Structure 1
């Protein structure tokens, strides 16, 4: 079939459409955005422009840290006793240099009052402290790995859990982010947590304190708030929320930041799918919380709470 070509008078020269002055009214829109950005809705701090931490760089850092912690699972399968330490050392050298840069950028970008006058040397020291705790973090992660193996009858071996379970991925990311949060590198820690959230559907605030032997089965939709404290050997299932019941405010009505407002879950607790546990309440050691339960009151140790019995829990004193 012969293709019809429009007459010369109807053809547009290259760039003619983009050159049309009234097509998008860009001059007006750009000017209005400038007014919003600089005046009416400004969120910018005074001073020189600052570079935010790079989410892409932090993803690479998380991948590298995970490879260094578990080099034969996430790194290279052909590593042996002769070259594995070289791989781990080289990986850490690259990753920690990059992390140091991101920590510095994060502190300077937000001007965090927790890190006033933050310098490059401070970022180096913070990164050095973080790195020194990696062996302890790996030890904790092994307890999480074993808890998943014991707690899930479908789990056949450790490698399956380590590289295939979203709950394991989420807790690896959390334990790394939590270290940084404790050292007040909070923007970087929060971005790491959000990377884990995007990857797994599990939302753990980096401020949450989680003991050893922690297992999230299935995991999708789990939410764990900033001031949550979780003891040892706790198992939770998908769609569990450990959240805040209300948000305290000051005399002027502003939300008070950082108050303890999330649950305390003691050792050896199991929380089944869909349970919602809100406020600074305590779930006593050895308790079992059934699926879809809504809890805003303390639960004594060794309790079994289901939808039918939840209403009979006595109010906290």
Structure 2
């Protein structure tokens, strides 16, 4: 074995000029600190805000490679948004408590509901996404995705009192728009009709108006697709065109049951 040759070949195949996985690890640490600062009663807010600023400064050093797009002044703007983000998250938690008969307490929702955790990290990442902070918002939501099975792109726009029940397998694309009081069940996809890099600047994902319920494993695709307010989308439905307000959409599978003859 020619170890030196292998080393040189490996270095030669490292095509990315700057790929530092410390950014991923430290983003996850920042995300954890942020979540506990907002919710944990034993975490001191004042001390942790100082810690978060230090962690954020480190992320700026690792993520902001373009000198023409400085990120060093972003923290003060971001931290001023945290109270309003927390207010929205409390509304999300209340929506879960009011809608889910299995929820026994607010504490259970904050600590045990993967849907709430995924929404929380999305909302915290979305504010950074809007400012154009590179890569970190996506790393934050991917961290939540890995823990919950919920994949929400930080670019999605989600209104108040959002509820994801059971959570696992939910996919919400970058240009999706979700209005207020929407309920989504496990396995729902709000996606694009097809994937093409030329569509990067185009709305590719659907719009869901207020007071809509989307049941398990429904798939809604396309940037021009709008689900009208107060509609119900049944489980396993497949939509690629708009639905007017107050509609009910359902999939009717053919089910055959054969029972054995009993003598």
Aligned residue number for residue 212 of structure 1 = 160
Residue deviations 1:220-278 (CA, integer Å, cap 9, x gap)? 01000000000000000101000000235xxxxx5332311001000000000000111
- Name the SS for the 1:255 alignment partner: helix
Q: CA RMSD in A?
A: 1.8
Structure with greater Cα Rg:
1
Q: Does the aligned pair in 1 maintain the 2:191–2:205 contact within 8 Å?
A: yes
Q: How many residues align?
A: 252
TM-score using structure 2 length: 0.90
Aligned residue number for residue 194 of structure 2 = 246
Q: Does the aligned pair in 1 maintain the 2:92–2:160 contact within 8 Å?
A: yes
Residue deviations 1:70-119 (CA, integer Å, cap 9, x gap)? 232xx45xxxxxxxxxx1110111012211220342121xx4xxxx5244
Q: Does the aligned pair in 1 maintain the 2:23–2:63 contact within 8 Å?
A: no
In the alignment, which of 62, 65, 76 is matched to residue 34 of structure 2?
A: 65
Q: Does the aligned pair in 1 maintain the 2:208–2:229 contact within 8 Å?
A: yes
Structure with larger RCO (C-alpha < 8 A, sep 6+): 2
CA distance in 2, matches of 1:50, 1:160: 39
In the alignment, which of 24, 28, 31 is matched to residue 5 of structure 2?
A: 28
TM-score using structure 1 length: 0.75
- Name the SS for the 1:307 alignment partner: coil
Aligned residue number for residue 239 of structure 2 = 295
User: In the superposition, relative to structure 1, how do residues 229 and 186 fare at CA in structure 2: closer, same or farther (>3 Å)?
Assistant: farther
Runs of at least 4 residues off by over 4 Å: 49-53
Q: Does the aligned pair in 1 maintain the 2:212–2:232 contact within 8 Å?
A: yes
CA distance in 1, matches of 2:20, 2:13: 21
CA distance in 1, matches of 2:19, 2:170: 34
For residues 39-118 of structure 1, the aligned pairs below 5 Å read: 42-44=15-17, 51=20, 54-72=23-41, 75-76=42-43, 87-108=44-65, 111=66, 117-118=68-69
Q: Does the aligned pair in 2 maintain the 1:71–1:88 contact within 8 Å?
A: no
For residues 1-317 of structure 1, the aligned pairs below 5 Å read: 22=1, 25-37=2-14, 42-44=15-17, 51=20, 54-72=23-41, 75-76=42-43, 87-108=44-65, 111=66, 117-119=68-70, 122-123=71-72, 125-248=73-196, 255-280=198-223, 281-308=225-252
Extract unaligned runs of 5+ from structure 1: 1-21, 77-86, 249-253, 310-317
Aligned residue number for residue 83 of structure 1 = none
CA distance in 2, matches of 1:118, 1:186: 10
- Name the SS for the 1:133 alignment partner: helix
CA distance in 2, matches of 1:166, 1:291: 20
Q: Does the aligned pair in 1 maintain the 2:190–2:206 contact within 8 Å?
A: yes
Q: Does the aligned pair in 2 maintain the 1:144–1:214 contact within 8 Å?
A: yes
CA distance in 2, matches of 1:62, 1:36: 32
- Name the SS for the 2:135 alignment partner: helix
CA distance in 1, matches of 2:8, 2:62: 30
- Name the SS for the 1:154 alignment partner: coil
CA distance in 1, matches of 2:120, 2:200: 26
- Name the SS for the 1:274 alignment partner: coil
